[in-house]
Amino acid sequence: EAGVAQSPRYKIIEKRQSVAFWCNPISGHATLYWYQQILGQGPKLLIQFQNNGVVDDSQLPKDRFSAERLKGVDSTLKIQPAKLEDSAVYLCASSLMGWRSYNEQFFGPGTRLTVL
Amino acid sequence: AQTVTQSQPEMSVQEAETVTLSCTYDTSESDYYLFWYKQPPSRQMILVIRQEAYKQQNATENRFSVNFQKAAKSFSLKISDSQLGDAAMYFCAYKRADGNQFYFGTGTSLTVIP
């Protein structure tokens, strides 16, 4: 079974530039998560999708971050414009279901973003 | 809000020995899940072990076991017969049974000494 795919693996941009990350979850997984992991910290949830609907985006900085999951499969996370404090690893994870049940999250390799 | 605390930023263990990683959490819920995740350097995060709060019996997965103390809100991970491949960041995480979010601690970096 193929795992969660993410691209690019690394990205370096200047502040105020835009950047987009892509995630392809495990086939059949309805729930998709985007996390931000700043160096020395644990992952922090940015947004959670159930199929193509948003379940939780309470910690997403909506003035600069956006995410979509068209057709309930792939997802993109965009930052526009980027700030220095956005430097982090962005993790995508998927699970069969997330709401009112436990299903294991499977994580992708992450995208390491450096904002100069 | 739920918080997860890992008070040991770094730990080391001799190969073949046993090490215990600590985790405490804060919640007013009675039904929840607790997890330990492993994140090797430059590799994907994977689930090591999980515990349902309603179960009194401590979870065990091969060399990995937990000590779940619900009243004390403590959830430690014991790694027996440590191997070089166990070297990684270990994250403790919490999830309400009826909630969406996973809350992660700040992690413990485990070094295994040959």
For residue range B87-104, list pLDDT tens digits in order.
999 999 998 887 777 899
Spatial neighbors of A36 by CB under 8 A, at least 6 apart, are A43, A44, A46, A88, A89, A90, A91
A90-116 per-position pLDDT tens digit: 999 998 875 555 678 899 999 999 999
Mutate which of A9, A31, A45, A112 to test chain B, going by most B C-beta atoms within 10 A?
A45
B34 sits in which H/E element = strand B32-39
User: What's the gap between Cα A44 and its chain centre?
Assistant: 10
Tokens describing residue A31: 């729930």
Instruction: Decide if A100 and B97 are in contact by the 8 Å CB cutoff.
Output: yes
The answer, for A5 touching chain B at a CB cutoff of 8 Å, is no
Is A56 close to B101, i.e. CB distance below 8 A? yes
Which residue is closest to B33 within chain A, CA to CA? A102
pLDDT over 70 (residue B113): yes
Specify the DSSP class assigned to residue A38: -
Token pair in block for residue A69: 């999951």
pLDDT (tens digit, 9 = 90+) per residue, A15-62? 999 999 999 999 989 899 999 999 888 899 999 998 889 988 999 999
pLDDT > 90 in chain A, percent: 72
Calculate the dihedral angle through the C-alpha atoms of B33, B36, B42, B44, rounding to the nearest 10 degrees: -40
Min distance B97 CA to chain A CA atoms (Å): 6
Q: Which of A3, A42, A98 sits opposite B91 (nearest CB)?
A: A42
* DSSP single-letter state for residue B80: -
